[in-house]
Amino acid sequence: MRKLFQEDLHNLGDQLTDIAVLVSEAMEKAYRAYETADVQLAEEVIAADTRIDTLQNDLDEKAIELLALQGPVAGDLRLIVGALRMSTSLERMGDLARHIAQLVRLRYPDPVAPQQLVDVYRQMAEKDIQIAKKLVELLVTRQVDLVAEIAALNEQINELHAGIFTAIAADNWDASPSATVDSALTSRYFERFGDHGVSVAKKVLYLVTGQWEAEPTA
């Protein structure tokens, strides 16, 4: 019975990794669709989000079953509760990629981003994609030095996010009201994606080390 329980715990980790891989792919495709106004690719992202939702539901149901039937304690309990919380953040990251794809569909055949913000969104998206890939690596390897790298990328995204709102509030901002709303939403989606990535990373750090913050690097 104990062996089966440990296998179930291992499977929870594998399921989290599977979701993280799909989330990484979703953001890559969503941004490519955003950058090129590719509505077909945007539709693929939107449709694929159902798979992420299904995997999250399956993981959560299994975790709840283990809590109810196995009465885990100590490290096993932390792992199961952590898996539940991480799956929620990963699912939300998938939703944010879907939201970006939905903006592409909404504005097609026109691009979503005003020309003056294209480069900033490219930088934000690239950092989000790096975060997503590092999360997959972190979940597989448990190399906790990745947590600080993810947090650093997120800080860079936050700075870019603040710059977007500075640009929108500037006197020379001349985009239409709809473009202004789209610009704010796009920035918010990229920013929140990174925040959820940090949340997942910190939970892995806690499971591995018992700490919530990574040790400072030299």
Nearest to 117 by CA among 195, 193, 34: 34
- Domain positions in the chain are 2-209
**pTM for this prediction:** 0.93
Kindly give, in sequence order, each residue whose CB lies less than 8 Å from that of residue 185, ignoring residues fewer than 6 positions away.
99, 103
Residue 217 banded pLDDT, cuts 50, 70, 90: very low
**Top-confidence residue, 112 or 6:** 112
DSSP 216: P
Cα–Cα dist 57/104, whole Å: 27
The whole-number pLDDT of residue 9 equals: 82
C-alpha 73, offset from chain centre: 29
Look-up of token digits 């990251």: 93
- Give the sign of the dihedral formed by CA 162, CA 95, CA 48, CA 194: positive
Judge whether 83 and 13 are in contact, CB under 8 Å. Answer: yes
**Tens digit of each residue's pLDDT (9 = 90 or more) over 89-107:** 999 999 999 999 999 999 9
Mean pLDDT over 166-176 rounds to 95
The whole-number pLDDT of residue 72 equals: 65
- How confident is the prediction for the chain on average, in pLDDT? 92
The whole-number pLDDT of residue 2 equals: 65
* CATH for 2-209 (1.20.58.220, 3.20.20.70, 1.10.10.10, 3.30.1330.10): 1.20.58.220
Write the single-letter amino acid at 213: E
Mean pLDDT over 119-138 rounds to 98
The whole-number pLDDT of residue 81 equals: 87
The whole-number pLDDT of residue 11 equals: 87
Look-up of token digits 């096993």: 76
**What distances in angstroms separate CA 214 from CA 128, 147, 205, 217, one per listed residue?**
20, 7, 7, 9
Give the rounded percent of residues in the chain with a pLDDT score beyond 70: 94
pLDDT at 59 over 80: yes
Residue 73 banded pLDDT, cuts 50, 70, 90: low
CB atoms within 10 A of CB 7: 10
**What distances in angstroms separate CA 49 from CA 54, 98, 146, one per listed residue?**
9, 7, 26
The whole-number pLDDT of residue 6 equals: 75
The SS3 call for residue 24 is: helix
Instruction: Please provide the size of the chain in residues.
Output: 218
